């Protein structure tokens, strides 16, 4: 076991409306990956922000290699080698990958200009060393969320570090990128650094973490070696009870075709796609990132225009033209990109929830505040959203709770066709199960549900029918009972189902 590099003692953090941490003590050692676990809103990110100097604790002390660090701020923390990759990405979209990686560390050339070639060369070297496959000259706004996360990681690698903190790094990564990340983590660990790792994907912990600590409602619940515990032990510590069957699957009763995606082909991508979503059924769309699932959904909403083919909604030709038209027609799409397209910052929780459903709560011409509040309160309860009130500004909720507000927003529109793009990203195990239950109820009430997810167990666990995409074409379709992890993975990599022995 390595030396203790970073220690927190009796840390308490009080926000005006919430106590985020109460009397938390923990130690982080060199050469060790320490998982920091807990439900949404347990206080994980708050502790991380205290460690990197973004928040001052209300009470308590921080020690680095035995030295107390009073009044830690971001600059000091960085100078000491505490480097963090936060849950919400902090890149400058208009700059290139290399410019973001070396932001604030640019080399100034003889004419007083930033030496761009130097930055690009250095970024290339860094990426090569860590086997990161990304073009340093690409503009960040053109990258996928997953690629942006990799840039964020690159930024952290470029700094001299002793402690590296990763707040839900795999949340947006594909399996392939996760492999790269884990290699990087192993290398940092071998170099003796202390790593703190936050994730809601409990299955990945044994692969990458050595020890863990659990927070519940801001309180320290315990620590241990990952190898000495089962997943059930850890869940019990996190949520205070046992969690039965993670996927409470009930077979759907497929009814009429709600949406027929008829021979739709996107511009310069893939081939004609023929697909039907039926009422009372969960249709799971699986594929690697870049396989075209999200973009196909955006064609339905009118955000993208297909090159050919048509959509048939309840038997009639349908063209959305705009997202609000799609809503009116009973189609709702929950975005995968919470920060960019999802939440409206600086506005309260209830506003975010009811934004697309103003008609639902409208009473004559006046918005019924009472109706709105009732609707929102019941959603908060149903999805166990942790918020002090409905008037709380959404960006002050924890990451997972922001996602829950977006799910509530989708449910409030009472859609006939609900498209959920990576719905459980960043959501804790207990609430994930609640969401699967809600999906079951929706399909039982006749809603057609389409789920896009990069988590194969999730897609297999909740879908009645699974359609696999590769490079914009469908390579296989599986009934719930017929699906195997192996067959779906092969299809996702481009093998046609007919050639896969199921
Ligand atoms: N800037 C802030 N102002 C007010 N309250 C905050 C602020 N940041 C966090 N909180 C509150 O502190 C509590 C802990 O939040 P935190 O973000 O640390 O949770 P978390 O464990 O990281 O959850 P998640 O898994 O959802 O990311 C929450 O109740 C949250 O609303
Ligand atoms: Mg968090």
What is the distance in A from the centroid of ligand 1 to the CA of 24? 15
Cα 241 to ligand 2 centroid, rounded to whole Å: 21
Closest ligand to 430 CA? 1
Distance 98 CA to ligand 1 centre (A): 31
Per-residue pLDDT of the chain (502 residues; tens, 9 = 90+): 689 999 999 999 999 888 999 999 999 999 999 999 999 999 999 999 999 999 999 999 999 999 999 999 999 999 999 999 887 778 899 999 999 999 887 777 777 777 888 999 999 999 998 888 899 999 999 888 788 888 988 988 888 899 999 998 877 787 778 888 899 999 999 999 999 999 999 989 999 999 999 999 999 999 999 999 999 999 999 988 888 788 999 999 999 999 999 999 998 888 999 999 999 999 999 998 778 898 899 999 998 889 999 999 999 999 988 888 898 899 999 987 776 678 888 999 999 998 877 655 555 555 567 888 898 999 999 888 999 999 999 999 988 899 899 999 989 888 999 999 999 988 899 889 989 999 999 999 999 999 999 889 999 999 999 999 999 999 999 999 999 999 999 999 999 988 886 5
Q: What is the pTM of this model?
A: 0.85
pLDDT attached to residue 425: 86
pLDDT, position 321:
84
**Ligand 1 center–CA 36 separation, angstroms:** 14
**Residue 346: both structure tokens together:** 């600086």
* 8 Å CB contact between 81 and 158: no
Mutation probe of ligand 1 site: the residue of 12, 24, 45, 388 with most atoms within 8 A of C-beta = 45
* CA separation for the pair 122, 133 (Å, rounded): 15
Separation between Cα atoms, residue 476 and residue 483, nearest integer Å: 10
- What number does the ligand 1 atom closest to the CA of 398 have? 17
- The atom number, within ligand 1, closest to the CA of 200 reads 25
Of all protein residues, the one whose alpha carbon is nearest to atom 29 of ligand 1 is 41
| C-beta separation of 279 from 268 below 8 A | no
Quick one: which atom of ligand 1 is closest to the CA of 403?
26
What is the per-residue pLDDT for 193? 94
Write out residues with Cβ below 6 Å of ligand 1. Answer: 15, 18, 20, 38, 40-46, 87, 386, 396-401
What are the chain's domains?
A: 4-239 (3.40.50.300), 244-330+415-502 (3.40.50.300), 345-414 (no CATH)
Read out DSSP for 99-168? HHHTTT-PPB-TTSSB-HHHHHHHHHHHHHHTT----TTSBGGGS-HHHHHHHHHHHHHTS--SEEEEES
Q: How far away, in angstroms, is 20 Cα from ligand 1 center?
A: 6
447 burial type by CB count under 10 A (0-12 exposed, 13-18 middle, 19+ buried): buried
User: What residues contact residue 230 under an 8 Å CB cut-off, 6+ apart?
Assistant: none
Q: How far is the CA of 400 from the centre of ligand 1 (A)?
A: 9
Q: What is the pLDDT of residue 108?
A: 78
Tell which atom from ligand 1 comes closest to the C-alpha of 48: 18
């Amino acid at each position: 076991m390595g030396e203790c590099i970073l220690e927190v003692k009796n840390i308490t953090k009080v926000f005006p409306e919430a106590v985020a941490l109460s009397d938390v003590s923990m130690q982080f050692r060199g050469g060790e990956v320490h998982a920091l676990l807990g439900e949404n809103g347990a206080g994980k990110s708050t502790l991380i922000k205290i460690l990197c100097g973004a928040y001052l604790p209300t009470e308590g002390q921080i020690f680095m290699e035995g030295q107390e660090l009073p009044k830690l701020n971001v600059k000091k923390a960085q100078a000491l080698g505490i480097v963090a990759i936060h849950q919400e990405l902090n890149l400058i979209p208009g700059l290139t990958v290399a410019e973001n990686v070396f932001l604030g560390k640019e080399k100034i050339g003889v004419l007083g200009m930033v030496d761009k070639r130097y930055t690009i060369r250095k970024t290339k070297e860094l990426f090569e060393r860590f086997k990161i496959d990304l073009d340093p000259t690409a503009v960040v706004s053109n990258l996928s969320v997953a690629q942006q996360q990799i840039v964020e990681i690159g930024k952290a690698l470029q700094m001299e570090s002793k402690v590296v903190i990763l707040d839900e790094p795999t949340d947006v990564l594909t399996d392939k990128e996760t492999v790269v990340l884990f290699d990087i983590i192993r290398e940092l660990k071998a170099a003796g650094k202390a790593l703190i790792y936050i994730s809601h994907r409990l299955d990945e912990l044994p692969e990458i973490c050595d020890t863990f600590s659990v927070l519940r409602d801001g309180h320290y619940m315990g620590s241990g070696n990952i190898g000495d515990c089962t997943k059930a032990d850890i869940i019990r510590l996190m949520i205070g009870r046992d969690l039965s069957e993670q996927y409470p699957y009930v077979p759907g009763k497929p009814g009429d075709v709600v949406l027929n995606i008829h021979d739709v082909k996107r511009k310069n991508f893939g081939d004609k796609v023929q697909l039907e979503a039926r009422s009372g059924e969960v249709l799971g769309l699986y594929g690697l990132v870049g396989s075209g699932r999200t973009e196909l959904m955006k064609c339905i909403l009118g955000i993208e225009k297909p090159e050919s083919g048509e959509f048939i909604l309840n038997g009639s030709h349908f063209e959305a033209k705009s997202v609000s038209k799609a809503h009116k027609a009973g189609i709702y799409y929950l975005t995968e990109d919470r920060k960019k397209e999802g939440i409206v910052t600086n506005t309260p929780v209830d506003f975010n929830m009811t934004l697309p459903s103003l008609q639902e709560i409208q009473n004559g011409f006046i918005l019924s505040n009472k109706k709105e509040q009732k609707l929102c309160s019941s959603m908060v309860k149903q999805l166990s959203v942790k918020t002090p009130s409905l008037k709380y500004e959404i960006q002050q909720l924890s990451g997972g709770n922001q996602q829950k507000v977006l799910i509530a927003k989708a449910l409030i529109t009472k859609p006939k066709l609900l498209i959920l793009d990576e719905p459980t990203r960043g959501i804790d195990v207990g609430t994930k199960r609640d969401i699967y239950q809600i999906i079951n109820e929706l399909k039982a009430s006749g809603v057609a549900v389409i789920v896009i997810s990069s988590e194969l167990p999730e897609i297999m666990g909740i879908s009645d029918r699974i359609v696999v995409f590769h490079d914009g074409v469908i390579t296989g379709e599986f009934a719930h009972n017929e699906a195997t992890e192996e067959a779906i993975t092969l299809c996702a990599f481009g093998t046609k189902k007919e050639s896969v022995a199921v």
